[in-house]
Amino acid sequence: MIIFKSINTLNKEVNFKANIGFVPTMGALHKGHISLIKSSKKICKKTLVSIFINPSQFNKANDFKNYPKNLKKDIAILKKLKVDYLLAPKVKEIYRNKKNSKIKLKKKDKVMCALYRPGHFEGVLAVINQFLIKIKPKHIFFGEKDYQQLLLIKKFVKNKFKITIHNCPTIRGKGNIALSSRNVLLSNTDIKKSAYIANLILNFKRNMKRDILFKKHLKNIIYKINNIKKIKIEYLEIRNKINLSKNYNRNNFKIFIAYYNNKVRLIDNY
């Protein structure tokens, strides 16, 4: 694996006319990332992974400071997977100009995480924009765990870049917990609580699939979850999975949650 600390050097050494798959990450790699990398390796001739903890997508300084980092372990994982290229650029190379660090969202897109984490997706879109302006991969891979991110990126990229977006299903670990880099910040007790929440919602979803009117019990689920010690829901909403509107039926809904588990903010969708 060739490690690049700068996009300039990457561009000099790598021929982007070839069929290159790009997996952007913020590191602290887990099986979710590994599944994205494996998809890229299946479809593309060469795979490029980036590790860049993008400061402009953090709306709280402490969250940025505490975000898990483990470059050595990440490099070992990538080498084992036989990834071709790793890009780990510096902030000043990505954002030469401060105005490049945010891309505005439309008012109608400001729901769920876009509402509760102001500036977050503006920073995500900005970093993807900078990457795709500076490098020209043919394919890019995102996990459905960050479902709202995936939809916003799809919309943003559509008419701007010639690239195919691939989405890969959420990978769940023990107790149906969605894998996330943030899970390393959880204790065993916290993990048990997250597993309880995941199964509660999965069960609720099964009931809604049987009878959509079961949705009226959502408030009981919210009550149950908020009653768990040191758990606080930010939002728990049922939405249309195509456009995130509240207009859905039993075949096109998804349930979205963001909550704090002992101060660690987690998201999931089912």
Please identify every residue annotated as catalytic.
33
Hey, which bits of 5-130 come out as E strands?
20-25, 46-51, 85-87
- Closest Cα partner for 113 from 64, 150, 61? 150
Is residue 127 involved in binding ligand PAF (CB under 6 A)? yes
Q: Is the dihedral of CA 81, 83, 94, 123 positive or negative?
A: negative
Q: How far is the CB of 7 from ligand PAF (least distance, A)?
A: 15
103 vs 127, beta carbon nearer ligand PAF:
127
Helix runs in the chain, H state only:
7-13, 31-43, 61-66, 71-80, 91-94, 113-116, 120-134, 147-157, 188-210, 218-226
Burial zone of 249 (CB within 10 Å; 0-12 exposed, 13-18 middle, 19+ buried): exposed
Q: Which residues contact 237 (CB under 8 A, 6 or more apart)?
A: 111, 112, 246, 255, 256, 257
Binding residues for ligand PAF, rule CB under 6 A, total 9
- Closest Cα partner for 23 from 40, 11, 7? 40
Q: How far is the CB of 208 from ligand PAF (least distance, A)?
A: 27
Q: Which residue has the tokens 């040191």?
A: 230
**Binding map of ligand PAF across residues 41-80, x = CB under 6 A, - = no contact:** -------------x--x-----------------------
Q: How far is the CB of 106 from ligand PAF (least distance, A)?
A: 19
Single out the segment in contact with ligand PAF by CB under 6 A; choices: 18-26, 41-49, 236-244, 258-266: 18-26
Record the tokens describing residue 230, joined without a space: 């040191």
Record the tokens describing residue 84, joined without a space: 């071709």
Tell me how far apart the alpha carbons of residues 234 and 153 are, in angstroms, rounded to a whole number. 23
Single out the segment in contact with ligand PAF by CB under 6 A; choices: 23-31, 80-88, 165-173, 211-219: 23-31
Out of 74, 84, 122, 146, the only residue in the binding site for ligand PAF (CB under 6 A) is 146
Q: How far is the CB of 126 from ligand PAF (least distance, A)?
A: 9
124 vs 168, beta carbon nearer ligand PAF:
124
Record the tokens describing residue 252, joined without a space: 């096109």
Out of 7, 26, 151, 152, the only residue in the binding site for ligand PAF (CB under 6 A) is 26
Single out the segment in contact with ligand PAF by CB under 6 A; choices: 5-13, 21-29, 82-90, 186-194: 21-29
Is residue 25 involved in binding ligand PAF (CB under 6 A)? yes
Residues that bind ligand PAF (CB under 6 A): 24-26, 54, 57, 124, 127, 146, 149
